[in-house]
Structure 1
């Protein structure tokens, strides 16, 4: 019971921290920071933070540095850091922090579809588990369409008239009631890239020596690409100035809290409770972002967005239920309970990714 309470408390803190990142992304873009510069700084800071941790905690697991390893790290950094981070920041600027969080819940569903198309995942049509996964995926897509295209009645939780992301309050009455279609595509592009990265991790993660080295190499290669892209996009070095402001806070928060602490806590929870335990807490982040966004960013909630979110979460849990049942049914019966439990956790970790668009 004590271990479960620690796990629950840890995952609630993780969801609060991840929700805070989406809010900070919205604020720093509204402050005028170039998204590509933000991503470059984040990955550089994350590399500097993770490298000592890798040497301290996984020195004996240090991988053999070869050209093949660096090539895989480059691909991992591109799919798991540069592309999704850039698209995430841009997508939040074009839509809302709430929508980006809702879309993040679709990542496991997108991963399941891609894995099935690449024959890395069995669909199992005709079985209860397979039908649950397919129906859950359809529900998730339907919920996303409801969220995007159906507005419904406005739901005003409170009237604070506070908009930290837009100093000129109410200059455009419909500013917060519209979701840019381009923004939607950008956010889903972020999830698509992240899902490809998850599938890549299933194949290559063991070659990096451990999660700390994996994250370090990914951030290192990603930071090189991100810096080059940012410099080629805009050579104005004034964009790179960091003061004691929201820009420095966001960069430090994303690198230290998300890429450092959250990665470590997620790894601990997955090792002790399994990936399914981590996955089921994603709706907590949705609620936090929706409440904070409506309070501080003047983001209006609508009946359609709430209905769409409920449908998406329902589809997610159907997929997770089907996956959990499938994992249990594939575990061979043995008298060695410890070995059986270890096998279950390893299989679940390989096939059931955690939920977040905020990559390490």
Structure 2
């Protein structure tokens, strides 16, 4: 029994660590996207390169690691991969990063933290998550999700006094040059940016729920992720070519643009999607989405260091609320998993007794 408990605890640490790493990498995506926009790179081209490099990174890994493990590729899997590439790849990325330009990085990231609540509702409606208000675990998941979202909102809305955490600051932006991306989106309104941000959250929530389905039908993490990235790259390239046909927009040199798209494609997309797909299969879509508020915390810390943005007391208080909410939700998920394992073990014991009973009766007759 102790061995089972230790194994369960070790698995829990792995899942939490994987999603924390994914949140850090996704926070890097947002910070570096501001750097790319500051250099004049359009969000459409950046998203296209992101998924191109993600496919180039994941495809060889999938071929080598899962050479003899991949099941037959069916039309159902292909359609699900196409939808995954659309909802969690090309469409979400274009909507979200465009909303960052039309509003602000802080505002768009705050709206991004509505994803746990949206995912929770969608997962319950589609019966991917069990919700029982008469159980403590069900109340904990609802309360924890609300605390996470509330902490993210507090982090953005309330400022408070300035907090100087870093003895030095590394400013990566060219404040003397107006980004051409900003110039091209002057006609965009703040209200449209809000609509794009909310729509991107809906797409992302649907994608998180879809991940669990993809993992069951095609249980090869690397191959399914590579297939999704391929679909996302095709979609985003076709969309970008409709607007950005100049060669200069697509040209990459040995500069920050190349570094940004390499990071977005390998670490910020390839590794992140692998981690999220694995955790979604093991712990469910709510477990994955509840870590999204951590991204805002990491963005606040990184922005104060690399983008010359001021860190306020509200950011620290909001971050503490986010962590508190995570613990509440994880506790509720842990209670559900223990209950599920107890049911499985009891069913296994009953089946074993049913199989042993005829043998005992036969022995008594003999």
* TM-score category, normalised to shorter length: 0.7 to 0.9
Q: What is the aligned counterpart of 1:231 among 221, 241, 247?
A: 241
What is residue 190 of structure 1 aligned with on the other side? 200
Q: What is the aligned counterpart of 2:83 among 71, 75, 84?
A: 75
| Aligned residue runs from structure 1 range 140-151, under 5 A | 140-151=148-159
Contact 2:137 2:333 (C-alpha < 8 Å) held by counterparts: yes
Contact 2:110 2:153 (C-alpha < 8 Å) held by counterparts: no
Is 1:240 the counterpart of 2:250? The answer is: yes
Distance 1:106 1:61, change over 3 A: farther
Separation in structure 2 between the aligned mates of residue 199 and residue 241 of structure 1, nearest angstrom: 36
| Aligned residue runs from structure 1 range 212-231, under 5 A | 212-231=222-241
Distance 1:133 1:272, change over 3 A: closer
| Aligned residue runs from structure 1 range 303-322, under 5 A | 303-322=313-332
Structure showing greater radius of gyration is 2
Q: What is the aligned counterpart of 1:58 among 33, 53, 66?
A: 66
Is 1:126 the counterpart of 2:108? The answer is: no
Deviation at 1:77, TM superposition (A): 0.6
What is residue 249 of structure 1 aligned with on the other side? 259
Deviation at 1:82, TM superposition (A): 0.9
Contact 1:109 1:316 (C-alpha < 8 Å) held by counterparts: no
Cα deviation digits, residues 216-238 of structure 1 (max 9, x gap)? 11111111110111111233332
Deviation at 1:32, TM superposition (A): 1.1
The more displaced of 63-72 and 40-49 is 63-72
Is 1:24 the counterpart of 2:43? The answer is: no
Cα deviation digits, residues 27-46 of structure 1 (max 9, x gap)? 11111111111111111121
Deviation at 1:277, TM superposition (A): 9.6
Distance 1:18 1:149, change over 3 A: closer
Cα deviation digits, residues 204-224 of structure 1 (max 9, x gap)? 323334111111111111111
What is residue 355 of structure 1 aligned with on the other side? none
Q: What is the aligned counterpart of 2:160 among 140, 149, 152?
A: 152
Separation in structure 2 between the aligned mates of residue 72 and residue 147 of structure 1, nearest angstrom: 36
Cα deviation digits, residues 249-272 of structure 1 (max 9, x gap)? 111112222334455567788999
Separation in structure 2 between the aligned mates of residue 133 and residue 67 of structure 1, nearest angstrom: 35
What is residue 46 of structure 1 aligned with on the other side? 54
What runs of 5+ residues in structure 2 fail to find an aligned partner?
1-5, 178-189, 350-366
Taking structure 2 as the reference length, the TM-score comes to 0.73
In structure 1, the residue corresponding to 2:68 is in which secondary structure? helix
Deviation at 1:20, TM superposition (A): 3.0
Contact 2:152 2:293 (C-alpha < 8 Å) held by counterparts: no
Distance 1:10 1:211, change over 3 A: closer
Distance 1:108 1:256, change over 3 A: same
What is residue 311 of structure 2 aligned with on the other side? 301
What is residue 330 of structure 1 aligned with on the other side? 340
Contact 2:212 2:280 (C-alpha < 8 Å) held by counterparts: no
The more displaced of 290-299 and 75-84 is 290-299
Distance 1:200 1:16, change over 3 A: closer
